[in-house]
């Protein structure tokens, strides 16, 4: 066997990701008065109505000026080529006015803003699928489960737009287990504003695990070489979630944390397939929910 055959695969780093060129969106809209309350909308050339992907970036819920929406621009453009409208959404993070409850309220408000955009941009919200990476995966899952929030919750919004499927790319579905595993180096408790024993009710409102069942399909993808969100952490959640919802987990060989958001990598076909499959499922779903 040659030396090249025994070398581990090169894994993309965050330093590489932030150097990737952005892909301009068709429109930028503000969904609130704060400078971070905006999103980029990518629209396919067809007349519509278009299925919609709500895209949420990661970054451990922490503000990084160089991260933001740009690293997901290529992903948004790739979905646009598949005939999907993409709402690549910014929100306030830790260090930028975010945290509890602001980050969650921003994500809810930005998602519900799609109702405003739908008539003028020919969006079909009956085929709305959330797609999130890392901490964005947590928020994509949370959006699918937020209809279970009690009306006394600081995160509750009456009549929020409904999600019809979730694709979580190395997401963080269980905040308490995330605290225990120190995923995102403390950010799992920082975004909630305290450790589980100090603010237990906040975890009931903020952790997707606590909001099961969502009533819609979940598709989780993670790389075998992901050191930031290990596959074993996700497997622990999947064992619980499969008792409540239709859930699929794909563990992708030779992939780290960032390969999943780059449409030129070897794992892109798996990501593409997951998103298109859930959009298609939503198209055939007349009940508004799906269980196994």
Residue 260 sits in a domain of what CATH number?
3.40.50.1820
Structural domain contains residue 14: no
pLDDT at res. 68: 78
Structural domain contains residue 90: yes
Structural domain contains residue 13: no
Q: Label residue 7 by pLDDT band (50, 70, 90).
A: low
Residues 179, 176: Cα–Cα separation, whole Å: 5
Structural domain contains residue 22: no
- Tokens coding 12: 């993309």
Q: How many other C-beta atoms lie within 10 A of the C-beta of residue 249?
A: 18
Structural domain contains residue 15: no
Higher pLDDT, 4 or 13: 13
Give residue-wise pLDDT tens across range 30-67. 999 999 999 999 999 999 899 999 999 999 999 986 66
What's the order of all strands across the beta sheet hosting 27-30? 27-30, 38-42, 85-89, 50-56, 123-133, 166-169, 218-223, 247-252
Structural domain contains residue 77: yes
| pTM exceeds cut of 0.85 | yes
- Tokens coding 142: 């949370």
The single-letter DSSP state of residue 184 is: T
For the chain, the straight-line distance linking the first and the last C-alpha, in angstroms and rounded, comes to 46
| Percent composition of the chain: helix, strand, coil (DSSP 3-state, to 5) | 35, 15, 45
Coil, helix or strand at residue 87: strand
Structural domain contains residue 270: yes
Structural domain contains residue 3: no
| Residue numbers of the domain that contains 90 | 27-283
Give residue-wise pLDDT tens across range 151-188. 999 999 999 999 999 999 999 999 999 999 999 999 99
- State how many domains the chain has: 1
């Amino acid at each position: 066997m040659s030396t090249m055959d025994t070398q581990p695969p090169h894994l993309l780093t965050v330093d590489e990701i932030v150097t990737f060129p952005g892909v301009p969106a068709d429109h930028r809209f503000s969904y609130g008065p704060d400078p971070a309350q905006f999103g980029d909308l990518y629209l396919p050339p067809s007349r519509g109505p278009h299925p919609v992907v709500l895209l949420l970036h990661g970054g451990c819920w922490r503000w990084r000026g160089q991260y933001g929406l740009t690293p997901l621009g290529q992903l948004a453009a790739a979905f646009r080529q598949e005939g999907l409208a993409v709402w690549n959404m910014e929100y306030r993070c830790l260090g930028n006015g975010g945290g509890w409850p602001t980050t969650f309220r921003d994500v809810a408000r930005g998602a519900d803003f799609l109702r405003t955009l739908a008539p003028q941009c020919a969006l079909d919200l009956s085929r709305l699928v959330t797609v999130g990476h890392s901490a964005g995966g947590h928020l994509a899952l949370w959006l699918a489960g937020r209809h279970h929030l009690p009306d006394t919750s600081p995160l509750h919004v009456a009549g929020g737009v409904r999600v019809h499927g979730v694709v979580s790319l190395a997401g963080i579905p269980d905040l308490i287990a995330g605290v225990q595993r120190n995923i995102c180096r403390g950010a799992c408790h920082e975004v909630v504003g305290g450790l589980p024993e100090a603010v237990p009710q906040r975890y009931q409102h903020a952790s997707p695990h606590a909001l099961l069942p969502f009533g819609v399909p979940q598709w989780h993808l993670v790389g075998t070489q992901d050191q930031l969100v290990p596959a074993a952490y996700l497997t622990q959640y999947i064992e619980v979630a499969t008792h409540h919802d239709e859930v699929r987990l794909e563990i992708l060989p030779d992939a780290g944390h960032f390969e999943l958001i780059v449409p030129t990598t070897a794992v892109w076909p798996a990501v593409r397939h997951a998103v298109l499959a859930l959009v298609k499922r939503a198209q055939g779903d007349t009940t508004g929910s799906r269980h196994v």
